[in-house]
Amino acid sequence: MSETTDLIHDMAEKLFGDMCDKNLLDEAEKGVWPKALWSAMEEAGLTRALTDENAGGSGLSIGDAMVATRVAARHAAPAPIAETMLAEWLAASAGLSCPAGPLTVAPVLRTDKLSMAREGNGWRLKGVAHRTPYAANAAAIFVLVEAEGKNFVARVGTSMTRIAPGHNVAREPRETVSFDCALASDDVAPTEIDAARLRAFGAAMRTVQIAGALSRALDLSLQYVQERVQFGKPISKFQAIQHNMAMLAAHSAAANAAADIASEAAETDLDPIKIGVAKTRAGEAASVGAALAHAAHGAIGFTHDHTLHFSTKRLWSWRDEFGKESEWSALVGRAGLNAGGAGVWRKIIAQ
């Protein structure tokens, strides 16, 4: 890790560690926007992480931005840090500027296809994007849309859309956004990014977030098993518990290695195979890890009063978002089948 990376990690750890307490997370689940948290993130430069310094951003590398994202996820930060980065990346690819405030992208489902056609001097964008993260909180939604056989990015002010509420199981906003809006020509620009690449970048983000949330679930579990006394001793003294904790730690380590793979891919070639590998492995770690963390905590971890669920509900959400394991492993597996027995090692695993 470079010195900058260490600085960003420590700064994010302090910021999110200090601010994302139980009260903030409870309020966010009720739909309260964490205004103070967002202001603190703005001040720290994390809300324009990927925007050039001369355009008022922090100009971080994608790798360093991913480090901040992992830490934010570790503390279950209830704000669209990953989505804002995705939007910045998408906007930059089309040379569009970003308005102040939180940002998001659409569509995030493979089944949602929006349409755009020229109208007057500008464009008309139509369609429905389901499960859009933090749409109602966003200042703008950056939409990736195909028109005239090319990919475009459209910058859409949230006030121009109709938004129906919705959430993932972690109570993070995932809203249904209906578009039927006229856009000025300045708000639309062509991009080299296509739907598959946007999905890959999103999956890389969620992989990194899973690694963060799982490391928190591990911490909470390790702490709990050493405090909880049954049969006259801390339950951490029982071999069955020790072995479960070993497996939780192993899967957490694998998720973090997967996050490193995803992060490096996002920073370089956005290779869908590498990102597929990472999302597949992290998704599985999320499932196994969340189950082990809950097993360790017993009934108390099943209560809303305990904080474990802030991490495990995010794991259960993020493993599905931007493609669950079956989607990405099918892509990796198909590549292996196409490469054949002779090619799978040389062309894919150790290419």
Partner 1 sequence: MAHLNFAPPPPFNETTEKLRADVRAFLDRELVGMTPAERARSWSGRDVAFSRKMADRGWIGMTWPKKYGGHERSALERYVVLEEMLAAGAPVGAHWIADRQSGPSILKFGTEEQRQTIVPRIAKGECFFCIGMSEPNSGSDLAATRTRAKKVDGGFLVNGQKIWTSGAHVSHYMILFCRTDTTGEDRHAGVSQFIVDMKTPGIVIRPIVDLSGEHHFNEVFFEDVFIPEGALLGQLGDGWKQVTNELSFERSGPDRFLSTFTLLVETLNALGPDANERAAIALGRVTSHLMVLRRMSRSVAGMLQRGEDPAVQASVVKELGTTLEQEIPEIVRMLVDAEPDYGADNPLVAVLAHNMMHAPSFSLRGGTREILRGIIARGLGLR
Structure tokens at 167: 């959430």
Binding-site string for partner 1 from residue 34 to residue 63, where x marks contact by CB under 8 A and - marks none: ------------------------------
Instruction: Work out how close the CB of 280 gets to partner 1 at its nearest, in angstroms, rounded to a whole number.
Output: 4
Is the peptide bond prior to 107 cis by the omega test (within 30 degrees of 0)? Answer: yes
Is 13 near partner 1 (CB under 8 A)? no
Among 13, 219, 271, 320, which residue sits at the site for partner 1 (rule: CB under 8 A)? 219
**90, 198 in Cβ contact below 8 A?**
yes
Is 213 near partner 1 (CB under 8 A)? no
User: How far is 301 from 225, CA to CA, in rounded Å?
Assistant: 12
Nearer to partner 1, 183 or 265 (CB): 265
According to CB under 8 A, which residues from 322 to 351 bind partner 1?
325-326, 328-342, 344-346, 348-350
User: How far is 137 from 145, CA to CA, in rounded Å?
Assistant: 22
Among 225, 265, 293, 308, which residue sits at the site for partner 1 (rule: CB under 8 A)? 225
| SS3 of residue 128 by DSSP | strand
Query: Rounded to the nearest 10 degrees, how much is the dihedral formed by the CA atoms of 91, 179, 104, 330?
Result: -90
According to CB under 8 A, which residues from 253 to 282 bind partner 1?
253-254, 256-258, 260-261, 274, 276-278, 280-281
Among 4, 97, 242, 303, which residue sits at the site for partner 1 (rule: CB under 8 A)? 242
Structure tokens at 287: 């499932």
Among 44, 139, 147, 250, which residue sits at the site for partner 1 (rule: CB under 8 A)? 250
Between the alpha carbon of residue 195 and those of residues 13, 108, 150, 266, 272, the distances in Å are 33, 9, 11, 15, 12
Q: What share of the chain is helix, strand, coil (3-state, %, to 5)?
A: 55, 15, 25
Instruction: Work out how close the CB of 4 gets to partner 1 at its nearest, in angstroms, rounded to a whole number.
Output: 15
User: How far is 278 from 334, CA to CA, in rounded Å?
Assistant: 16
Is 308 near partner 1 (CB under 8 A)? no
Residues that bind partner 1 (CB under 8 A): 1, 215, 218-219, 222-223, 225-226, 236-237, 239, 241-243, 245-247, 249-250, 252-254, 256-258, 260-261, 274, 276-278, 280-281, 284, 325-326, 328-342, 344-346, 348-350
